[in-house]
Amino acid sequence: MAMKVSLFSTGFASWPLERAFQAAARCGYDGVDVGGFRPHAYPPDVLGGVNGGASAILSYVQKYQVPIVSYVPENTGSPHSFVFRERELNDISVEYFKQSVDAAKAIEAPMVMFAINMPGFGIDREYLKRQVVEDLKVISDHAADLGVTVILEPVTPFEGKLCCSSDDVKYFLDEVDNDALQVVLDLACPLTCGEPMSEYWEKMPGAVREIHFIDAEPDCEDHLIPGDGSMDWSRIVNYLRSVDYDGYLALELFSRYGNEPDFAAERGIEVIRGLLGQ
């Protein structure tokens, strides 16, 4: 089965969500990753009918014939996070994360993505790791009950400390020990952590369910269209074929192309299809 390409709605944060579906359909993307932020798809809005809620989002899927690949709720500290030291704030965050899984189910997204952001100062690392494990257990159990897969994303060392490398990701998968918890690999992470992407397949066979197919530089977390950074793309594509990866390649762009999301979507799919020989 051929690899598919999806478009992150985050690049269209200054437009209504429908604009991302329009761009995906026009440019020939195979799917959309829906950002769970306002005005696009904040979990309480999805479930509460704000801006049409889940029904409006599902109408875009039908209108443009572009499926939702994953749901990506805001979970990097404003106002919810895995790394609050205060128990009450952590408990509030876990309830929000469970609500995010409910929202994913409501919009028929098969996967919901979470990342672990930068913790505050003066907090014991091992304490936080155990807290994250317990949080992920609760969320993964809830997702399993709903038939939704949680995909854990490593972040670059510029964005976090607890879940950046393949060893970090494996730790959380092993400790949670629930098939409902899998992996989304952001290609900026192996580059900035100084390891090959093959570590994810060798340490966690079959766990990578989606890839953020973006370029980067070793000293920065910014996400670039393939070819605009330092990565060896022929090697990356050849490796993915060698391990029979047949999931989605998501174009996740933000700051660099923020004022021209339509152009970035057009150029991105052209470059990626070229790399895949499609």
What pLDDT score was predicted for residue 113? 99
Give the residue, 76 or 91, on which the prediction is more confident. Answer: 91
The count of other CB atoms within 10 Å of the CB of residue 6 is 27
Q: Tell me the angle at which helices 17-27 and 261-276 cross, rounded to the nearest 10 degrees.
A: 40
Residue 1 clears pLDDT 90, i.e. is over it:
no
77: phi > 0 → left, psi -120 to 50 → alpha, else beta; which?
Answer: left
**Stretch 8-21: mean pLDDT:** 96
What pLDDT score was predicted for residue 77? 75
> Which residue ranges make up each domain of the chain?
4-266
pLDDT digits (tens, 9 = 90+) for 121-173: 999 999 999 999 999 999 999 999 999 999 999 999 999 999 999 999 999 99
Residue 209 clears pLDDT 90, i.e. is over it:
yes
Which of 57-66, 141-150, 218-227 shows the lowest mean pLDDT across its residues?
A: 218-227
pLDDT band for position 249 (50/70/90)? very high
User: For residue 89, what are its two tokens?
Assistant: 């704030």
> What is the domain class of 4-266 according to CATH?
alpha beta
> Is pTM beyond 0.95 here?
yes
pLDDT digits (tens, 9 = 90+) for 25-37: 999 999 999 999 9
pLDDT band for position 94 (50/70/90)? very high
Give dist(CA 94, CA 116) in Å, integer: 13
**Stretch 73-101: mean pLDDT:** 94
The count of other CB atoms within 10 Å of the CB of residue 86 is 8
Residues in the chain, total: 278
**Stretch 19-29: mean pLDDT:** 98
What pLDDT score was predicted for residue 85? 94
Give dist(CA 174, CA 154) in Å, integer: 15
The mean pLDDT value of the chain amounts to 97
- Per-residue CA distances from 113 to 14, 17, 255 (Å): 21, 18, 20
Contact 227, 233 (CB under 8 A): yes
DSSP 8-state code for residue 110:
S
Contact 76, 115 (CB under 8 A): yes
pLDDT digits (tens, 9 = 90+) for 100-123: 999 999 999 999 999 999 999 999
Report the amino acid identity of residue 6.
S
Three state DSSP letters for 72-91? EECCCCCCCCCCCCCHHHHH
User: For residue 73, what are its two tokens?
Assistant: 């709720």
**Stretch 226-246: mean pLDDT:** 97
What pLDDT score was predicted for residue 199? 99
Dihedral sign (CA 268, 108, 73, 124) = negative
Give dist(CA 121, CA 100) in Å, integer: 27
